[in-house]
Amino acid sequence: MAVSLIRCWVVLMLVFWLTATADAQTPRPSVQRPNVQRPNILMIAIDDLNDWVEPLGGHPDVKTPFMQRLANRGITFTNAHCQAPLCNPSRTSLMSGRRPTTTGVYGLSPWIRDTSEFKSVRMMPQHFNDHGYRTLIGGKIYHGGYGKGKLQDEECDVWGPPAQVGIRPDQKLIPPTPGGNHNLMDWGTFDHRDEDKGDWAVASWAVDEIQKMPASGNQPFFLSVGFFLPHVPCYATQKWFDLYPEESVTMPPIVEGDREDTPLASWFIHWDLPEPRTSWLKANNQSKPLVRSYLACVSFVDSQVGRILDALDASPYADNTIVVLWSDHGYHLGEKAISGKNSLWARSTHVPLIFAGPGINERLRCEQPAELLDIYPTLCDLVGIVHSPGLEGISLRRQIESPTTVRKRPAICTHNVGNHSVCDQRWRYIVYVDGSEELYDRSIDPDERDNLMAPGSKISTEHRKVADRLAAWLPRDEKPLAIGSAARILERREKGYFWEDSLINPDEIVR
């Protein structure tokens, strides 16, 4: 008895001593230093960039040579989709590895740390930090100023410059826009230099960090760099506009009456926004200026991606860094009667997703559905660390190794409670909170024009079966709006639909 008591005491003291020693040596007890040198990670995020990039071929004129160079070095997921067509919920989902339907974060507010359930969730940089990575975040990775402030040292080791527009013209370049003439709602060129832009500063910071990365020890880095453009205001210098001459630029396919076969609820999910409708663009001769400005900004941002990739190539980390590039969601430029995001069609959900680096073969393309949610577990697998608990994404490692490997789960995108799209290799199914539906056969209708479940039409047995098969993947037990939800919030209540707390009158659709 006495012997076992002594044994017990010795073990307890040993545990206590080990814990105390670990605490004294490292700021976080769970830190595991790798025995082998793991690859570094360079993550490049781009804001509001749709599939108008060379690797996805979404626009015939677009010039993105650096993104193409990156794609040539690795794998492009050609069927990748965001989990929410809006900055905060998309980025929250990607960085936490959880769907909006799990966190309840559907709007521009709240920051996930302000929810009671997820305030301590290990976001991606933290999980890599726990496994020995030096973590750096510059520009727009989280929405707004989220993550920065009193607890910013908990999020990552080094914070770079915030996302910024940079120099702006003295006054807006376009006529006053509906929805309050928002000061971000602008585009065009004016006399300035590339060096005056916020994204230039962010790229410069990243280049600088790569060049001065501490070479001592074997600590790998996880450098996250987020660009703001082509988010509005789409300002670029003249040289980027010159790539897209006014007389020859290709306009996106805009079909008159394309919304006649979409349900009422499709209007409610983007009810009242600063982004103007196509009807306003046309009436104010702004369709082409917006398209040119967006393209110019895409090419400018591509050049900033190039500056970082060049710096990486010239560094000692060229051969031991995994690069991943993504955008948080797409953007309409007049298609389906709107500009902006906040829809459940490919224009809003389809995004670039490219991986390159050690162990990834060159010039691969994968057509299997992929979700931005998959980035977190994929990066864990690529560097050989365990998955953080609770991740809802599926690692894309098998598709990276062999791009034709079937991935059963389709890509799901959610915009506010109860509105989802589900997309596999052929079909897109959409269901809104009132049960109204859309179905598109993307194999013959890539622009998603012909709704096979149009309100009032007879639905074929085949299409019903497809819709039911895809609907079976939808998340169950959707979280209601997190406390503090605001900005671009749609709710269905007893009295009807409420947009940001105001009852919607369906007779007031702005077409």
**Which residues here bind Ca ion, judged by CB under 5 A?**
47-48, 87, 258, 261, 328, 449
- Residue with the two structure tokens 């149009």: 454
Cα dihedral 75/372/329/153 (nearest 10)? -110
Cβ atoms within 10 Å, residue 511 = 11
Cα–Cα dist 109/124, whole Å: 20
CB-nearer residue toward Ca ion: 87 or 356 = 87
Q: Rounded to the nearest whole angstrom, what is the least distance from the CB of residue 35 to Ca ion in the complex?
A: 39
CB-nearer residue toward Ca ion: 340 or 418 = 340
Would you give the DSSP letter of residue 418?
A: T
Q: Rounded to the nearest whole angstrom, what is the least distance from the CB of residue 341 to Ca ion in the complex?
A: 7
Q: Rounded to the nearest whole angstrom, what is the least distance from the CB of residue 403 to Ca ion in the complex?
A: 27
- Residue with the two structure tokens 């001769």: 285
Residue in 50, 59, 54, 38 with CA at minimum distance from that of residue 82: 50
* 131 belongs to the catalytic site: no
CB-nearer residue toward Ca ion: 261 or 272 = 261
Cα 280 to Cα 85, 178, 511, distances in angstroms: 22, 8, 9
Exposure string for 383-407, b = 16+ CB within 10 A, e = fewer: bebeebeebbbbbbbebbeebeeeb
Cα–Cα dist 316/215, whole Å: 9
Catalytic residue among 59, 82, 87, 332: 87
CB-nearer residue toward Ca ion: 321 or 348 = 348
Exposure string for 90-113, b = 16+ CB within 10 A, e = fewer: bbbbbbbbbbbbbbbbbbbbbbbb
Catalytic residue among 59, 81, 131, 143: 143
Q: Rounded to the nearest whole angstrom, what is the least distance from the CB of residue 47 to Ca ion in the complex?
A: 4
Q: Rounded to the nearest whole angstrom, what is the least distance from the CB of residue 27 to Ca ion in the complex?
A: 32
Q: Rounded to the nearest whole angstrom, what is the least distance from the CB of residue 17 to Ca ion in the complex?
A: 49
CB-nearer residue toward Ca ion: 48 or 424 = 48
Q: CA triplet 161, 354, 189: central angle to 5 degrees?
A: 50
Cβ-proximal residues to 240 (8 Å cutoff; 6+ apart), any chain: 189, 296, 297, 299, 300
Q: Rounded to the nearest whole angstrom, what is the least distance from the CB of residue 82 to Ca ion in the complex?
A: 9
Three-class SS state of 267: helix
Say if residues 75 and 365 touch (Cβ distance below 8 Å): yes
Structure tokens at 177: 């826009």
* 350 belongs to the catalytic site: no
Say if residues 323 and 312 touch (Cβ distance below 8 Å): yes
Cα–Cα dist 146/474, whole Å: 29
Residue nearest Ca ion (C-beta atom) = 87
State the catalytic residues.
87, 143
